[in-house]
């Protein structure tokens, strides 16, 4: 069995897209199992940059089956725009499959996402405003619309009428304009016609592929610290990026998951509100932000910057079952005299090595750092671990020691070729 979960181990944007694309060249199947177009996965192929939102990062390989599984929330209009955008750039030979059990994001979800944020005021989450939270809420509240209903015109109209009875009340209560069934129906039934040919029971397909020993990648979106259950709630997304959620989000047995690769930046970033113990706001943060082009793929917001947090990584390892690490953007740290790693938190004067559950505690923790010597050399063309500057090697080994996890990949630039594989795991 050759299955690998690619999982964000921080607050998202760790480089999951790059690593999925790297492995996808040899993969038979790439599955996105949760989230939606709140994700922004950047892939650079021969200096051509692609930003994927809902489409799996295996789309560039004609032999790879790309699956949007049942745990996803899919905006049909945006999905088609994304697909047409790729086709316009010459990506025309692809295989795409969409679960009939995935939920769809409709315009009222996006409006409500923005409205909740506004009403929350200073305690807003800082969402991507793509309607992700409201769509998952409707799913849990059993007033969501699934792809299977969407592609049947009669069923879609009836489901939309039912949903709007409730959603329009909610919109009115918030002082917002209501939606008309026919307006949404007439626009979206056209998207449904185009999407229909990709729709199937993806649970059967994934199982069939795993059973015949195909190489299957599960491309996570977001990251462990944004997990609805284990992240810095309520400053999280509305799904679980954890590997443990993959079987439910794909309709497969947990025993089908072999390895979990935690994707981890050589430092930390966060976009959106919420606690961030190792955040720095100094010239060093600006240096890292500019060198790493740390601006959101989806919303273009400047990403908040901080030192690597080994406490957070150990936590991600535990709650997500990560057994290997890919260390990304190591090239960005070249030129710093000193690099810090957080190896513990001080909470009310007590040293702890876990991530507390409440925002009140998280806002109080003070990171305890170890200081490492930096390196000056440009490492973006380095091809092996041995070629790295001595201090970069020591930095990598320290991360392994602090997290008790093996680093199997080091990334030194956005291109496919700027990847150092230390151990073959897929
Ligand atoms: P994802 O959401 O986890 O797929 O990550 P994003 O694509 O949102 O953000 C990662 C950013 O870092 C993208 O702009 C990538 O092109 C870029 N990137 C990935 N790996 C490296 C690397 O090793 N070095 C540098 N300099 N950039 C990288
Ligand atoms: P990828 O897959 C980084 C963040 C938002 C916000 C919170 C909730 O590219 O790593 P949402 O719109 O999901 O309700 O927003 O989660 N967020 C991400 N941050 N990378 C992402 O995806 C994210 N997806 C959501 O900024 O703080
Ligand atoms: Mg991203």
In the three-class reduction of DSSP (H, G, I as helix; E, B as strand; rest coil), residue 255 is classed as helix
Q: Closest Cα partner for 317 from 404, 217, 254, 422?
A: 404
In a domain, 426, yes or no: no
Task: Please state, in angstroms and rounded to a whole number, the distance separating the CA atoms of residues 293 and 299.
Answer: 14
Task: Please state, in angstroms and rounded to a whole number, the distance separating the CA atoms of residues 170 and 183.
Answer: 18
Within this chain, do residues 241 and 270 fall inside the same structural domain, yes or no?
no
The predicted-structure confidence for 12-34, as pLDDT tens digits, reads as follows: 999 999 999 999 999 999 999 99
The predicted-structure confidence for 116-146, as pLDDT tens digits, reads as follows: 999 999 999 999 999 999 999 999 999 999 9
Within this chain, do residues 210 and 335 fall inside the same structural domain, yes or no?
no
Within this chain, do residues 78 and 208 fall inside the same structural domain, yes or no?
yes
Q: Does 268 sit in the ligand 2 pocket, CB within 6 Å? A: no
Task: Please state, in angstroms and rounded to a whole number, the distance separating the CA atoms of residues 9 and 407.
Answer: 13
Within this chain, do residues 270 and 254 fall inside the same structural domain, yes or no?
no
Number of domains making up the chain: 3
Q: Where are the beta strands (DSSP E) in 41-138?
A: 41-45, 48-52, 65-68, 73-74, 95-99, 103-104
Within this chain, do residues 336 and 361 fall inside the same structural domain, yes or no?
yes
Within this chain, do residues 329 and 223 fall inside the same structural domain, yes or no?
no
The residue from 195, 226, 246 where one domain ends is 195
Residue 297 has pLDDT above 80, yes or no: no
CATH assignment at residue 319 = 3.90.170.10
What pLDDT does residue 78 have? 98
Within this chain, do residues 122 and 60 fall inside the same structural domain, yes or no?
no
Q: Closest Cα partner for 218 from 264, 256, 270, 266?
A: 256
In the three-class reduction of DSSP (H, G, I as helix; E, B as strand; rest coil), residue 11 is classed as coil
Q: Does 132 sit in the ligand 2 pocket, CB within 6 Å? A: yes
Domain that holds residue 38: 2-98+200-259
CA of 128 relative to ligand 2 center, distance in Å: 6
What pLDDT does residue 298 have? 74
CATH assignment at residue 46 = 3.40.440.10
pTM higher than the cut 0.95:
yes
The residue from 166, 195, 224 where one domain ends is 195
Q: In which band, very low, low, confident or very high, does the pLDDT at 267 lie, cut at 50, 70 and 90?
A: very high
The residue from 195, 212, 244 where one domain ends is 195
Within this chain, do residues 392 and 297 fall inside the same structural domain, yes or no?
yes
Within this chain, do residues 282 and 339 fall inside the same structural domain, yes or no?
yes
What pLDDT does residue 120 have? 95
CA of 290 relative to ligand 3 center, distance in Å: 16
Q: Which residues line ligand 1 (CB under 6 A)?
A: 8, 12-18, 40-42, 44, 292-293, 297, 328-329, 331-332, 411-414
Partners of 327 in beta bridges: 264, 410
Q: In which band, very low, low, confident or very high, does the pLDDT at 274 lie, cut at 50, 70 and 90?
A: very high
Task: Please state, in angstroms and rounded to a whole number, the distance separating the CA atoms of residues 40 and 16.
Answer: 10
Q: State both tokens at 65.
A: 């089956």
Q: Does 43 sit in the ligand 2 pocket, CB within 6 Å? A: no
The predicted-structure confidence for 32-87, as pLDDT tens digits, reads as follows: 999 999 999 999 999 899 999 999 999 999 999 999 999 999 999 999 999 999 99
Q: What is the mean pLDDT of the chain?
A: 97
CA of 395 relative to ligand 1 center, distance in Å: 20
Q: Which residues are catalytic?
A: 13, 41
Residue 1 has pLDDT above 90, yes or no: no
Q: Ligand 2, from 15, 16, 126, 128: best to mutate by most atoms within 8 Å of Cβ? A: 128
CA of 363 relative to ligand 2 center, distance in Å: 20
């Amino acid at each position: 069995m050759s299955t690998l979960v690619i999982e964000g181990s921080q607050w998202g944007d760790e480089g999951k897209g790059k690593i999925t694309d790297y492995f996808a060249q040899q993969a038979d199947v790439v599955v996105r199992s949760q989230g939606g177009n709140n994700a922004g996965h950047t892939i650079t192929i021969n200096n051509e940059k692609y930003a994927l939102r809902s489409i799996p990062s295996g789309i560039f390989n004609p032999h790879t089956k790309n699956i949007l599984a049942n745990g996803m929330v899919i905006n049909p209009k945006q999905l088609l725009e994304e697909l047409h955008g790729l086709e316009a750039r010459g990506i025309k030979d692809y295989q795409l499959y969409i679960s009939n059990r995935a939920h769809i994001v409709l315009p009222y979800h996006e409006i409500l996402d923005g409205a909740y944020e506004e009403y929350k005021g200073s305690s807003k989450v800082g969402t991507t405003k793509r309607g992700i939270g409201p769509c998952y809420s409707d799913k849990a509240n059993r007033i969501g619309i699934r792809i299977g209903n969407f592609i049947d015109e009669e069923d879609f109209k009836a489901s939309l009428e039912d949903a709007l009875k409730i959603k329009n009340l909610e919109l009115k209560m918030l002082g917002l304009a209501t939606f008309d069934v026919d307006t949404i129906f007439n626009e979206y039934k056209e998207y449904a016609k185009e999407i229909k040919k990709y729709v199937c029971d993806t649970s059967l397909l994934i199982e069939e592929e795993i059973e015949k020993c195909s190489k299957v990648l599960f491309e996570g979106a977001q990251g462990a610290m944004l997990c609805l259950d284990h992240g810095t709630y309520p400053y999280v997304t509305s799904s679980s990026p954890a590997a443990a959620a993959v079987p439910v989000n794909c309709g497969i047995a947990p025993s089908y998951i072999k390895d979990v690769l935690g994707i981890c930046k050589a430092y930390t970033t966060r976009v959106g509100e919420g606690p961030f113990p190792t955040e720095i706001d100094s010239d060093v943060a600006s240096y890292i932000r500019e060198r790493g082009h740390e601006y959101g793929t989806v919303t273009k917001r400047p990403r908040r910057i901080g030192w690597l947090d080994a406490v957070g990584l150990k936590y991600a390892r535990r709650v997500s079952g990560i057994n290997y690490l890919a260390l990304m953007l190591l090239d960005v740290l070249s030129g710093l005299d000193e690099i810090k790693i957080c190896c513990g938190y001080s909470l009310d004067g007590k040293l702890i090595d876990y991530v507390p559950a409440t925002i009140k505690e998280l806002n109080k923790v003070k990171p305890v750092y170890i200081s490492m010597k930096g390196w000056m050399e440009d490492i973006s063309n380095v091809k092996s671990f041995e070629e790295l500057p001595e201090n970069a090697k020591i930095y990598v080994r320290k991360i392994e020691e602090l997290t008790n996890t093996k680093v199997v990949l080091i990334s030194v630039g956005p291109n496919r070729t700027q990847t150092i594989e230390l151990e073959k795991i897929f």
